[in-house]
Amino acid sequence: MQKSDIIDNFFVCLGAQKSGTTWLARMLAGHPDLFLTPVKELHYFDHLAGITQHLSDKKRHSRYRKYHQRLWTQPRRFATHKAQWRWYKDYMDDPIDDDWYRSLFRQRAGRTFAGEVTPEYAIIGKTGYQHLRRLAPDVRLLFIMRNPVAQAWSQLLHHCRSNGIDAAGLSTGEITTLLQQPRFAEISDYDTTLRNLGEAFAQEQLLTLFYEDMHEGRARALRRVCEFIGIGFDAAWFPEPEQRYNKSQSAAMPEPVRHYLRATHRPLAMAIEARLGTIPQSWRDEFGGP
């Protein structure tokens, strides 16, 4: 591979759905030396693996139409949206291959570093990570984990909102049936993700974050992320760190569901503690650890 084919000064954020990736992407988008793709989740590697359909013609054209709607209906942000014109032209090009993916990081608006945030990269497996490594040998990877009980419930609420389901009206049996769908288990299998990442990348290329620690000290977490990527940090670049994004339905978790999720995910929590040497205290409280 020629040097011009390598994506350099590059990072990728992955993690479970509802683990704070949208918040982190919104914060990092304000950094003056970091280009974050206008479409937050590119889904390139899960598309290649046949895991998702986020890069179907229908979905790409939908995003392109929404971009033009923003361009012409948000006059105060016209200059910002106009600057993305070339990027969206590249995004709509075919075929979707490695050259397509590289093109999305060439237009960096004068910024040195670039990156993208796609939670589903947590399930692309060793083959997917090896492909990423070929394109970006020095990539920096951020992997965010959340208490798997809270994450599963939040993901279920998000699923219900997206599919027009009233979560509060579901029985315990209906909820557990939804939670048993393969995608729910795959996206929260942190231990398998960490093992696959560790086999594909050097240890210094990976930063693991816990959602709970990140949101207890957001400025501290942002500083840590910036230092890991290799960019400067100034709190003034992140004026609204307490802002919440991508909210789900509001519904209390039934106790039988909590008991089910605790029993299902306790081995995972213990495996993560054994692998990393630590988990947040809230995880220990959830699973009855010391």
Per-residue pLDDT of 15-37, as tens digits, reads 877 778 889 999 999 999 999 99
- What confidence tens digit (pLDDT) does each residue in 36-45 have? 999 999 999 9
In the chain, what are the domain boundaries?
Answer: 8-55+96-287
Task: Measure the CA–CA gap between 63 and 9, rounded to whole angstroms.
Answer: 27
Residue found by looking up tokens 């040195």 in the block:
112
- What confidence tens digit (pLDDT) does each residue in 59-96 have? 999 999 999 999 999 999 999 999 999 999 999 999 99
Fold (topology level) of 8-55+96-287: Rossmann fold (3.40.50)
Helices and strands: H and E segment counts in the chain: 15, 5
DSSP letter for each residue of 141-158: EEEEE--HHHHHHHHHHH
Average pLDDT, the chain: 91
User: Which of 56-60, 85-89, 174-178, 224-228 is predicted with the least confidence, judged by mean pLDDT?
Assistant: 174-178
Task: Measure the CA–CA gap between 24 and 250, rounded to whole angstroms.
Answer: 22
Q: Output helix, strand, coil percentages for the chain, rounded to the nearest 5.
A: 55, 10, 35
Q: What sign for the dihedral angle of Cα 63, 67, 68, 72? A: positive
